[in-house]
Amino acid sequence: MAISNFGELKTAVGAWLAKDYGEPREAEFITLGLAYINRELRVRAMELAVDLTVSAQTVALPTRYLAGRRLYLSTSPVAKLDYMSPFIFWKKFVGSLTGQPKAFTIEGENLVFGPDPDGTYTGKFLYYQGIVDFTADSDTHALLTKSPDLFLYAALMSAHIFKGDAALAAPMQILIDKLIARMHREDSRDRHSGDAMQIRTEIGNP
């Protein structure tokens, strides 16, 4: 059975369970499984590059933000922004200091820049975006097409937890975690394949 979209995934989950839950719950189990995947998985297929308008000290995080990869200002020369913990950030940038931002931190659902921008800058932000919950049967994602087993097993784990069947849920979680670890290794190999990497010393250049 092919599993390339939400409708096919629901059918597969129902077939594997082969049990009556009183009402169709496949979509619910898939949603819970997807939440687990979003918490644990960080691979290139989840990356999204966006432009941020940095004209105020606080800028809202992008949609479905999970974790950041890199952030720099599109200036000449390019200015890489350093991440600081909130405690260190506010020790350095508390007060009315303004200028071109040099660092940032994250508080709540916002990016906070320091010093306070003295104009309008374009931030180039690469981040991991959570996979959106499927709704229509035709909904899909590149990772579902590539790794349908991960989505299926995550949904089945949620189903076993719902039924209170720890004997099935625990080994299913181990299998899922092994799949995620393998995907992380494959993603790392893919990023670093080809010619040997060379370290560049021109700080600030892309």
The pair phi, psi for residue 19, each rounded to 5°, is: -135, 155
Whether the pLDDT of residue 132 is over 80: the answer is yes
Low-confidence winner among 7-16, 164-173, 181-190, 191-200 (lowest mean pLDDT)? 191-200
Determine the pLDDT at residue 190: 84
Crossing angle of helices 148-162/166-191, nearest 10°?
Answer: 160
Higher pLDDT, 96 or 89: 89
Asked if 33 and 157 count as a contact pair (C-beta separation under 8 A), the reply is yes
Tens-digit pLDDT profile for residues 42-75: 999 999 999 999 999 999 999 999 999 999 999 9
Residue spans per domain, the chain: 6-44+133-188, 46-128
Which strand ranges, in their side-by-side order, compose the sheet holding 79-80? 47-54, 121-129, 65-73, 79-80
Which strand ranges, in their side-by-side order, compose the sheet holding 110-114? 58-60, 110-114, 103-107, 82-83
Tens-digit pLDDT profile for residues 13-26: 999 998 666 668 99
* pLDDT, averaged across the chain: 91
Low-confidence winner among 3-7, 34-38, 112-116, 200-204 (lowest mean pLDDT)? 200-204
Determine the pLDDT at residue 20: 64
Spatial neighbors of 35 by CB under 8 A, at least 6 apart, are none
By percentage, how much of the chain surpasses pLDDT 90? 85
pTM of the model: 0.86
